[in-house]
Amino acid sequence: MTASPRTQLARISAWPTERVVVVLIGLLWLLLVFPLPRSLGGSGMLVAVLLLTLDLVLGILTRGLAFAPIWRLDERLTVIRDQAYRSAFRIMRTAIVVMLVLGVVDSALKSFSGQSGPDGVSLRFLLAFIEMLVVLPTAVVAWEQTATRPSVEHGPLPPTAWIILLLAPVLLVAWTALAPSLPVRYVVTRPTGSSFDLTGARCTQFLVVKEVGAGLAGAVGFHAEVCWNGEKAFVVGDPSLPLPSGVLPQQDLMPPGGLSEPELTACAPGVRETDFGTVSQTCTQLIDAGGTLTLIAHGRVSPYPGGIAARPLDIRLVVARDGTLVAVE
C-alpha cells in the first residue's frame, strides 16, 4: 500500500528544518555536478557562499556534532557520530561514482559541441567535491537527528549561535573588494594529436587563458588554430579574424574570410571558465611585414554576473611565420 501524493506532500512539509536544509544542499550540489547548464554564468561564487550559509545552518542545528572534539561528547554521541561518518563514507563512494560518470558526460558534451577550455578538474567540480567532503557527515547527523535526537538533549539553541551566519555577507563584501586585485595566471597549451591540416600550410592549435585568482574571479582567453606557410602566420576558423589573401593555394574555394569552425578558433575563454566570472571580450589579429602573427584578446572580467567589480584584461599571442611561439603576454 502506498501513500497518496497528498499524504506524501504532507509528510514532506512536516519535515524538520534540518532535512529541508539537507535537501537544499543536495540540490545545489547537483546543480554543480550536473553538466547542464553548461555554465553558471558567473554566479559560482554566489552558489559557494549560499552553500557555506546552508552548511553553517546545518552545523548550528546539529551543534557541530560532526566536528566536535572527542572530550565534548559522551559515549552515546560518539557512537552516533561514528555511525554518521560510516554512512557518510558510503554515500561519498556513490557520490564520487556519480561525479565521475557526469564528468565523462561533461567531457563528451564538451568535445561534441566543440567547446574548449583548460584541462583538469573544473572549479565547479572542485567546489562540489569539497562541499561534499565538508558537509556529508553533518548532513547525515542532521538527517538522522529526528530519530537519534542528539542535539535536542542539549536544550534550545542560544540566539548568539546564529551570529556566525554573518560570515556569509562579510565574505561576499570581502570578495567583491578583493577579486579585482587578485593576481592573474596564464594557462597556455598546445594540444597534441590535432589532426587539422591545410594544403600549403601547417597548423597547430593554441589555447590561451588568463585567469584571475586561479579562475575564481573570471578569465579571458581564446583557442585559435594558427597556421603558417613559411611566409606568414595566420588564424583559421573564425571569419571575424579574416584569412589574409594569397596564403593558401586553394583559398578561392573557401568562403570569404575563411572557414567558420568554432572548434578550431573561438574568441572565448572556455565554457568552464565562465562559472565563476563573466567576460565580454573581442579578438583581433595583426600580421606584420615579417609575417609574424599577433593575436590580441581584449576583455572585461567580472567575478559576478552583470559586470560588477569588473577589470580590464588583455592577452597577446605572438607566433612567427615558421610556427615558433614568440610570446604570450
* Contact set with other proteins (CB under 8 A): 79, 81-83, 85-86, 88-89, 92-93, 96, 100, 118-121, 123, 126, 129-130, 133-134, 136-137, 185-189, 211, 214-215
What distance in Å separates the CA atoms of residue 200 and residue 249, rounded to the nearest whole number? 6
**209 or 247: CB nearest other proteins:** 209
Cell output for 306: 552583470
Least spacing, CB of residue 244 vs other proteins, in Å: 30
CB atoms closer than 10 angstroms to residue 162? 12
**232 or 272: CB nearest other proteins:** 272
**130 or 327: CB nearest other proteins:** 130
What distance in Å separates the CA atoms of residue 172 and residue 53, rounded to the nearest whole number? 11
**189 or 240: CB nearest other proteins:** 189
Using the structure block, give the residue that is written with the C-alpha cell 584584461: 313
CB hemisphere CA count around 161 (13 angstroms)? 14
**158 or 183: CB nearest other proteins:** 183
Least spacing, CB of residue 275 vs other proteins, in Å: 13
CB under 8 Å to 307, separation ≥6 — which residues? 278, 280, 300
User: How far is C-alpha 234 from the geometric centre of its chain's CA atoms?
Assistant: 31
Which amino acid is present at 183?
Answer: P
Least spacing, CB of residue 123 vs other proteins, in Å: 7
Least spacing, CB of residue 177 vs other proteins, in Å: 20
Cell output for 316: 597577446
In angstroms, the Cα distances linking 171 to 36, 275, 305 are 27, 19, 17
Least spacing, CB of residue 195 vs other proteins, in Å: 11
